[in-house]
Copies of this chain bind each other. A is one copy, B any other.
Amino acid sequence: MSRECNVLVAQSGGPTTVINASLAGVIERALMEVKINRIYGAEHGIQGVINERLVPLHQIFSGNKDRLNQLKLTPSMFLGSCRYRLPHFLEDISDYQRIFQIFRKYQIKYFFYIGGNDSMDTMDKLSAYAKQNNIDIAMIGIPKTIDNDLMGVDHTPGFGSAAKYIASSILEVSHDTFIYNTKTVLIVEIMGRNAGWLTASAALARNGYSRAPHLIYLPERVFSVSQFLLDLNEQLKHHQHVIVAVSEGLKDECGQYVASKNSQIDQFGHVTLSGVGKYLENIVQREIGCKVRSVELNVLQRCAMHISSLTDIEEAFSLGEYGVEAALLGETAKMVGLYRIANNPYRVSYITIPIHKVANQEKKVPLEWITPEGNDVTEDLIDYIKPLILGEPSIYFEEGIPKYIKLEAVLEHKQIYQSYF
């Protein structure tokens, strides 16, 4: 039997709206390549490799352009995800033996892992193991994370769509707040525990008639409740309605999460954490006494495909394609990424970065992009984010709700559950 040349792809970490666009890019490019025989997807990331849960993506998508396009416009992970931290192979080799046994069995020549910091750590370790053992498999990481906190790239796929959701939602809840002729404070809590990129994107809600959000607090700066109340009172002098964007990860001068002050210990000794938004709402209620409400945007900011950025989707797709290109050219132990050539008009180029330069690091908002007062972001930061939210995809709707796809349903439909299932 002649040796096949197969692709394996998997997804890992937290969801974004465009992580399937990257998967679609990998599949589309790999299907076009005569050198490649089969394309497998591992369910639930690296765990699906360990557990031999592989699905034949070539069967599912070959000759089905519509389905591939639907995958491109489906949020979250089509293949499922995991949060599994590989031990280093010098500590425990068993996972590695198992993973490379599966690679051999399925004749995998190219492995693509779509994920964030932790997934790049996995790829870094697998690459090191392959190198040490002279195993010739191209290992390419494809970035994704709404948090935009990956080093070595201009921005991450998933961020632009989350930013567009956040900015649009802030504008809409501002319209909701404008209506009553009474002093009102609205606090919007936004994801991003350590990096403030998502919270900063609230600034894109501003337009010709609205300055909301009037105050923005990122986790890169120490948060002081007393200063916040001073800032708020100042804004309330000038505006009937004040909208505030806060990061879930705000910390006080002792480095303690502000939200943790709102915690209770349950019977198991676990801390239940309500958000910082609710915490600040209660403080405003008590200290200022005006009408106040808090809104937590929650997981919708990472899965609301219906208001995603077309720029983001297309970049994520192209990064998937580019990953395959890079692998075919013999690159390995690399992450593909985006480099911004120009901002106006916006242009990017596709690059590869040694994966060890990315793994386990975190890119935060530079302090010079936060105003000296610590309660707003600068125009430079707004200019940086602005091109990333442009364009709206044409989402399919069926009976009034978005039409997405799900792996289990596709497998049932194609009846391609195989022996290894």
By the criterion of a CB under 8 Å from any partner CB, how many residues of chain A are at the interface?
Answer: 74
In the complex, A91 has a CB within 8 A of chain B: no
Which segment of A63-71, A291-299, A322-330 sits at the interface?
A291-299
Contacts A296-B298, A409-B208 given; does A81 touch B180 at CB 8 Å: yes
Contacts A167-B401, A180-B44 given; does A272 touch B300 at CB 8 Å: no
In the complex, A368 has a CB within 8 A of chain B: no
Majority SS of interface residues in chain A?
mixed
A210 & B306 in contact (Cβ 8 Å cutoff):
no
Which segment of A92-100, A134-142, A149-157, A388-396 sits at the interface?
A388-396
Interface string of A155-195 (1 = CB under 8 A from B): 00000000010011101110110111100000000000000
B278 & A274 in contact (Cβ 8 Å cutoff):
yes
In the complex, A22 has a CB within 8 A of chain B: no
In the complex, A307 has a CB within 8 A of chain B: yes
Contacts A262-B266, A282-B266 given; does A168 touch B401 at CB 8 Å: yes
- A171 surroundings in chain B (CB, below 8 A): 401-402, 404
Q: Which residue of B lies closest to A263 (CB)?
A: B264
A389 & B400 in contact (Cβ 8 Å cutoff):
yes
Give residues 67-83 of A contacting B (CB, 8 Å).
74-77, 80-83
How far, in Å, is A346 (CB) from chain B's closest CB? 11
Contacts A266-B282, A282-B266 given; does A172 touch B399 at CB 8 Å: no
CA distance A150 to B60 in the complex (A): 49
Q: Which residue of B lies closest to A173 (CB)?
A: B299
CA distance A175 to B390 in the complex (A): 24
- A33 surroundings in chain B (CB, below 8 A): none
- A268 surroundings in chain B (CB, below 8 A): 286
In the complex, A39 has a CB within 8 A of chain B: no
A172 & B295 in contact (Cβ 8 Å cutoff):
no
How far, in Å, is A224 (CB) from chain B's closest CB? 17
B76 & A176 in contact (Cβ 8 Å cutoff):
yes
Contacts A76-B179, A400-B390 given; does A169 touch B300 at CB 8 Å: yes
In the complex, A253 has a CB within 8 A of chain B: no
B176 & A303 in contact (Cβ 8 Å cutoff):
yes
A285 & B272 in contact (Cβ 8 Å cutoff):
yes
Q: Which residue of B lies closest to A282 (CB)?
A: B272
A204 & B303 in contact (Cβ 8 Å cutoff):
no
CA distance A266 to B296 in the complex (A): 20
- A296 surroundings in chain B (CB, below 8 A): 296, 298
Residues of A within 8 A of B (CB): 15, 43-44, 47, 74-77, 80-83, 164, 167-169, 171-173, 175-176, 178-181, 204-205, 207-210, 261-262, 264, 266-268, 270, 272, 274, 278, 282, 285-286, 293, 295-296, 298-300, 302-307, 309, 386, 389-392, 397-406, 408-409
Beyond the given pairs A81-B179, A171-B401, A262-B272, 14 more chain A to chain B contacts, judged by CB atoms under 8 angstroms and listed by A's residue number, are: A47-B181, A74-B175, A80-B179, A81-B180, A82-B180, A171-B404, A172-B300, A172-B306, A209-B409, A261-B267, A272-B278, A274-B278, A296-B298, A392-B397
